[in-house]
Amino acid sequence: MYTISYVDRTNVSLALDPHISSLMKDLFMDDRMKGQVAGIFFLGYVFLQMPAGYFASRWSPRKLVAVFLVLWGIAAAGCGLVTNFHEFAFMRFTLGMAESGVYPTTLVLLANWFPRSERARASAYWNLCQPLAVAGSAPITGWLLGAYGWKTMLIAEGCLPFIWLPIWLYFIRDYPREMKSISARERDYIESTLKREAEQLEPPPKTPVWHFLLKPVVFVMIGICFLYNCASYGCNAFLTEGIHDPGHSFTGLQTGLLFAVPYVVTAIFMMVNSWHSDKTGERRFHVATVLGISGVSLIASVLMRGHSFWLSYTLLCFAIPGPFASLALFFAIPIETMPRVAAGAVIGLVNALGNVGGFFGPDIVGRLKMLTHGITVPFTALGIGLLMAAALCSLLPKNAPQNQRAMPRA
């Protein structure tokens, strides 16, 4: 489900590459407008984050995601029907609004299924869909752009949610007790472990949710989330600029393949980082480490670009993973240090305001690129932002101690 969501969110990066697509020419766009239309998705992405996290904790995450599937499918396909820049910007904004509730809703769903000792890995394996969506779809998107044009590509990939909807409704259940295909022993273990963990985090009687939303750590989390989203989506929107070599002319398919490799590296980072975090029971240092590595690599990549394309490209492959490899561990912190009801609202708030960075990142890169006629300055700025996010991680709380271990397999 989220793979499709991420494809519909990021396919615009290749569609906005003037070397392989006519979208910018057809809609009379410059680099500043490119950054705006890539990032406006995240202004819409603010709207339903908190309501979705709140209602997912009280209603059905499965049904809520089904509603979002229909809404974002309509918006994604609509992006291929536009005729000018303003229509395109509006449809991207609508797409962001339609997708905005999916992430916090799915985090609540995973929290209904996985104990603390398994939660980071479960969330990381789910979040693998983000880099793998780009890695898997980029060559196909590049080929579709070359063969059929940007309109057909956006409409075709926008129809994927409607195909997936019946599969989602058939296989997904909100709680282990509703899933008949797992054993009674496993079902009882999960339910009892989750109940025990929830009781350890329950607030004093009648503690209002807003009490948790106003904690200083929430504002620190918003700052970290904002900075790594600036870098993640700023790089994604202009990544094709970093993989164009003046000495070579790449086809749409070749560009798509070069675009995909950093996200394959990202998937490896995500698996290793989440595995080691669950093994040690530590979260914030693992978040800071991958963000720091990406920040240094991004700055080094653009500084080396004039000396060696392939060395610069290799460093770029290590610049992309940080925001993705930190994601599951970052959002495990509120789940493991706050009551369940409060955690859903906090995740929604942090994800909503933090994802505004997804608008400012591409916008800043577009404006700085027009001023400096290159990506060295804007990508360096994004790298510095990642290093600042890594430093802020020292202010995050230590997660609650792990007293439970995973259930042995029968």
- Token look-up 């769903």 returns 109
User: Within 13 Å and on the Cβ side, how many CA atoms surround 277?
Assistant: 33
Read off the tokens for 253: 């398919």
Tell me if residue 169 falls in helix, strand or coil: helix
CA atoms within 13 A on the CB side of 235: 34
| Burial class of residue 173 in the structure, from the number of CB atoms within 10 Å of its CB (0-12 exposed, 13-18 middle, 19+ buried) | middle
Q: Regarding predicted confidence, which is higher, 376 or 53?
A: 376
Residues 6+ apart with CB under 8 A from 144: 152, 153, 156, 157
CB atoms near residue 405 (< 10 Å): 11
Residue 207: what pLDDT? Answer: 65
What's the DSSP call for residue 175?
S
| pLDDT band per the 50, 70, 90 thresholds, residue 160 | very high
**pLDDT value, residue 225:** 92
Q: In the structure encoding, which two tokens stand for residue 224, read together?
A: 């970290």
Which residues have C-beta within 8 Å of that of residue 69, sequence separation ≥ 6? Answer: 1, 161, 162, 164, 165, 168
Query: How many CB atoms are closer than 10 A to CB 147?
Result: 11
Burial label for 408, CB within 10 Å (0-12, 13-18, 19+), is: exposed
More confident of the two residues 248 and 67: 67
Residues whose CB falls within 8 Å of the CB of residue 32, separated by 6 or more in sequence, listed in order: 363, 366, 367, 370
Asked if residue 391 has pLDDT above 90, the reply is yes
- For residue 162, pLDDT over 90 is answered with yes
H or E segment and range at residue 360: helix 357-372
Question: What digits encode the pLDDT tens for the residues 23-37?
Answer: 888 888 887 888 788
Residue 86: what pLDDT?
A: 92
Q: Is the pTM of this model over 0.85?
A: no
C-alpha 336 chain-centroid distance: 20
Average pLDDT over residues 174-193: 85
Average pLDDT, the chain: 82
CB 218 within 8 A of CB 346: yes
